[in-house]
Structure 1
Amino acid sequence: MIMNNVLTLIGFAKKSGNLVLGETLCTEGIKRKKISLMIIASDLNETTTKQIIQLCESEDVAYKILFTKDELSKAIGKENYGLFGISNKKFSRALIEKIDVL
């Protein structure tokens, strides 16, 4: 149930324009302090995962690794995305609260 709530919140973030998708845009968003939470798919390739985690840690951006690319992509109605940046702090806080309960 909580997992569905997290995926629903991700869908709302997209609909409201508060979701950044893909490696290039997420990397730029982190560096420009536009992203407050990164969601990384558990099946994303290891090299990309390590790079994003290092960048998040160096820029003090929260990140969570959960769900598969398929699960995350279905939540937003697109295919094959494994990196999601949340640009709205309220959405980020709500997601972190839900995720921490898992």
Structure 2
Amino acid sequence: MNEDKILNLLGLAQRAGKVISGDFIVEKAIKRKEPKLVLLAGDCAANNEKKYTQLAETHHIPLHSIANKEALGTAIGKEVRVVVAVLDDGFAKALLKEIDR
């Protein structure tokens, strides 16, 4: 997994308007089955990890841990972020391909 490439792709998806972030917004989107991929900061709290893992499994949405909160936020031009969701199939597939390398 090339973390820099993943974060760059995530930034591109953000500029295209295909990324949402923030605890409440992402949680609501998962419950509506909107995201194609959920990315969780590797250094998030255990309760966040448990919550998003359960939500993603329940709604059959792929979830992966990457980077840290600061890098995740910086990649999308925001402050620290614990969770982001990708709403576009194309970006999600490209990110998953890079994650699986």
Deviation of residue 23 (structure 1)?
1.1
After superposition, the CA RMSD in angstroms is 1.2
Which secondary structure state, in structure 1, belongs to the residue aligned with residue 100 of structure 2? Answer: helix
Q: Percent identity?
A: 30
- TM (norm. structure 2) is 0.95
The answer to whether residue 48 in structure 2 is matched with residue 48 in structure 1 is: yes
User: Given residue 7 of structure 2, which amino acid in structure 1 is its aligned partner?
Assistant: L
Partner of 2:97: 97
Partner of 2:12: 12
Partner of 2:67: 67
Q: Which runs of 4+ in 1 moved over 6 A?
A: none
Deviation of residue 48 (structure 1)?
1.2
Cα distance between partner residues in 2 of 1:97 and 1:55: 22
- Where does the alignment leave 5 or more consecutive residues of structure 1 unmatched? none
Q: Greater helix share, 1 or 2?
A: 1
Cα distance between partner residues in 2 of 1:77 and 1:25: 17
Cα distance between partner residues in 2 of 1:66 and 1:76: 14
- Where does the alignment leave 5 or more consecutive residues of structure 2 unmatched? none
